[in-house]
Structure 1
Amino acid sequence: MVALALSASVLLWGCGNEEDGGTAAAAGATPEAGGTLRIAAAGAIESLDPLLAARRGERLAARQIYEPLVSQESGPFGQTRRRPGLVPSLEPSAGGTIWTARLRPGVHFSDGEPLDADAVLANASRWMQEPAGAALLPELRAVDSPRPGLVRFQLDRPTPDFPDELEHGELGLVAPDAMIAGGAALRPNAAGTGPFELRESEPGRTLLARNASWWGSRLGLGPGVDQIELTEVDDRRSRGEQLENGAVELADDLGAPIARTVAEDPLLTVVGNAGALLGVERSVRGVESAADDQPLADVWLTDLR
């Protein structure tokens, strides 16, 4: 994820007309999107609640469905410039204790519910009430909306890195209609604003499908694949073997010994560092990090194999 820096007291992303749907690619020059990205996930995927997801596979799957307010998005095929996500601008007060966010217009959750100020207020209330959210935003004390399309975050102290905090995948926005008991729990298959939505869920397997109404598609941001299939594979050796055998295109959390073996295959590569190592088939493009909260809308498949 890209750290967002505060400059000249105003945080502002993007330029020009973002709603024209234009990309850097010439007409007809962009490869065709499609296919299924298969991932050997580390551990079971039992919860897709972005705030409560605990395992790497859960966090990776949840991030594709639920977007945080602050992000920088780039499209597949390496042909789209980076664009701001749900909040094109975030401006602090002179004292740094109030941050005002301007919401991207025309965004909807996958169930058709609009992403408006009321939806953000509902999510912010949940963050402040739930221990996991309060730990991520310890200085947040109140949230209101001075007018439609604007959300104001009131802090108990100046926090220059507040935009970085809002970038956490755990703070992915959930449709308010899916919240139960004031947000203490979510209904099954709760809607998000992300590039994918839950299609199937069964023990050991989770299938995400392209969100046909995703706001980023009209800006050329993808998704580059039609589906993402995450399969639970408990041990690192088995995940590495599935990658080597061509059963998956990505194998999560390999560990150094398995990663060294994977890297010896000319059709495979390893992405990451000591924190996490992700095995990737070279037919996959756009994976530049092993972070478990990375968006995968900018990933695409080639015909290398």
Structure 2
Amino acid sequence: MKKIRDLVVDDTFEMFVLIKQADVRLAKNGKKFIAFTFQDGSGNIDGKFWGATEDEIERYKAGKVVFLNGKREVYQNTPQVKIIKLRLATEEEPYQAELYMEKSPVQKEDLAEEINQTIFEITNATWNRIVRHLLVEHQTAFYEYPAAKNFHHAFVGGLAVHTVSMLRIAKSLCKEYPALNASLLYSGVLLHDLGKVIELSGPIGTEYTLAGNLLGHIVIVDEEISKACVALKIDEQSEDVIVLKHMILAHHGQLDYGSPVRPRIMEAEVLHQIDNIDASMQMMMGALEQVEPGQYTNALFGMDGRRFYRPNSK
């Protein structure tokens, strides 16, 4: 049976897929439709289910596996599926969501070993204790959750993969620029996205939680650091805690991107740049893997809607 990645324009197909997203919207005629993103281990494809009834909206939710009969088309240079028929998979069929999810390219045990080793390299006692406390508290979710609902590292274990990738970049930069405070930079990397375990609902049918929508992961991590200080009897007004919080609060770099403050210390600016590099690389590599040399990717919303070309050159 074909996978999503194998489909070409005008292919008519039947396959089991996971509903990754199911957003209910209103058409110009006033009727509701479902904007789907379908997923299997090879990739994603969007499709619209027009004239959806309330029963169908309730039935076809994110996280459900369906049997999809459709036709692969293109709309505004973006692949999509024209839905011909759709039904839920039965228990006699491969209905487990885990079968269709993108997997982490790195084993959980390897990620944990690299992170634990880095914690030993955080020589500042205050930062070490806070980082260790929060990673232990959220250990299970940290290694299971994606780093985002969409865009970058949006797969099982993506949060830990993103964190370790950023740690490797941070360590290279600390060797190149000894003026950087490695302990502070590593602490910021390890904690910067930890709030995603509260902001997001989980790895299957990922949605934003109430706290995610109303607070966001930056504020959530700031609160988690405050709670850790109480538990560990650390003075929250000490410079060590304030600069650590600044790392988190400033890591999106711009006020327009959700940071309440812009970076005002060197390590905070570097953390922002590392985060942007790793997220951008993952988005571009993931998109370019889906196209042949000489072709353009789909428009990448997380990259200002740009389409990237895959050169024939080697």
Smaller-chain TM-score bracket: under 0.3
Bigger RCO of structures 1 and 2 (CA < 8 A, at least 6 apart) = 1
- TM-score, length-normalised on structure 1? 0.27
Normalising by structure 2, we get a TM-score of 0.26
Larger helix proportion of the pair: 2
